[in-house]
Amino acid sequence: MTRPQFSSCLTRLGNVRSNLFTGRRLRQSLVIAAGAVSLVAGAASAADLPTRKAPVAPVYIPPAFTWTGFYVGLNAGGAWANRNNNNDNVLPLGAIPVGGFVPLAVSGHNGSASGFIGGAQAGYNYQFTPGQGFVVGLETDIDWANLGRNNNNGAAVAFTLPQFPGTIFTSTANSRNNNSNQYLGTVRLRAGYAWDRFLLFATGGLAYGGVNNNGNGLGLVAVTAAGSPLPLTGVIAPTTTITPIGGLAGNRSSSTKAGWTLGGGVEYALWSNFSIKAEYLYANFGSNNRNASGFLLPGVASAFNNRSRSLDVNIFRVGINYKFW
C-alpha cells in the first residue's frame, strides 16, 4: 500500500468515528428529552389527584343582636309618695263664732312617705332594624309597696247657735289618719333607640294602686251653762254640763286608685337572653274629695268637714329580664 492510500484510509476511519460519536450524542439527547417529558406528564397527573389537606373552615359571623321578643323579669327599688291633705271645717248655718274664730277653719298637711317596692314585670319588644335602630314595646308590672304615713289634721273651732242659748259648741277639729299603699301596678308603652346591646327608652301609660285608710273624724262637745236647756233633750241643766254631740267617727276603707304614669330608663343586655335595667317612674293618682257630717242636732244639718287629698308617687327601681326567642 502506497503512502497516499494509507492516508486516505486514515481519513475515512476518522470520518466513521466522528459519525459514530455524533449518533451517540443524538441518542443521549433523545433519552434525556424523553425523561423530561415523562417528569412533566407525571407532575401534571399528580396535580389532578385530590389533596389530602383538610378544607379551610369558614369564618363565623354572628347575627346582629335584636331586642325583639317576649320577656319576664323581677324588679326592686324605692318609692316615695307625696300626699297633700286639706280639711275645710265648715260651721253650720247661723253659727256665731266665739273668741274670734271664723266660720270657716281650714287645715292642711303636706307630707311624704318612702319605703321599699318590688315585684315582677312582663312585656314584648320589637326592634325595626337589628343591631341599631328604634324599639317599641308594651310592658305591665305589679309591685308590692311598703308606703305608710300617719298624720293629724285640725283646727279648733267654737261657736253658739241661737236656737240653743247658753250652750257653746267646741271642737279641736282633729282628724287622725293612717294611710298605706298595698301595691302599685302599671300598664305602659315603651319606645326607645338601641345601640346593639344598649337600649335607651321612654315609657308612659296607666297606673293603679291599692290604698288602706284608717282614721277618725271630728269630735264636737256642747258646754251648757246651768239653767239652760240641753241641746239634745231640752232638759234644763242643773249645773254646767258637757254633752258629747259628735263623737270621733272611725272609718276604715280599702280602695284601688287609678291614674297615669310617665318615666324612662336604660337597659343593657348581658347575654342574648338576660338584660338588666334601671328606670324612674312618676305616677299621679289624682285627688279624692270626701264630705262628712260632723254632728246632728234638732233643726240643724251640717257638713262639718270637707276633706280633699291628692296623691303622687315617685319610683326608682332596678330589674333583670329574661327574653324568650
* Cα separation, 232 vs 234, whole angstroms: 6
Which pLDDT tens digits describe the chain residue by residue (325 residues)? 566 665 665 566 555 555 545 556 656 655 565 565 555 555 555 555 555 666 777 877 778 899 999 999 999 999 988 766 555 556 677 778 777 555 444 444 455 678 899 999 999 999 999 999 999 999 999 999 887 655 555 556 788 888 888 998 877 555 555 555 688 999 999 999 999 999 999 999 999 988 765 555 556 788 999 999 988 888 899 999 988 876 544 555 567 889 999 999 999 999 889 999 999 999 998 876 555 555 566 666 554 555 556 678 999 999 999 999 7
325's grid cell: 326567642
- Read off the amino acid at residue 164: F
Residue 106 confidence (pLDDT): 47
Instruction: Judge whether 284 and 315 are in contact, CB under 8 Å.
Output: no
Residue 125 confidence (pLDDT): 97
15's grid cell: 470520518
Q: Note the pTM of the prediction, 2 decimals.
A: 0.62
* Cα separation, 125 vs 191, whole angstroms: 9
128's grid cell: 325595626
Residue 103 confidence (pLDDT): 47
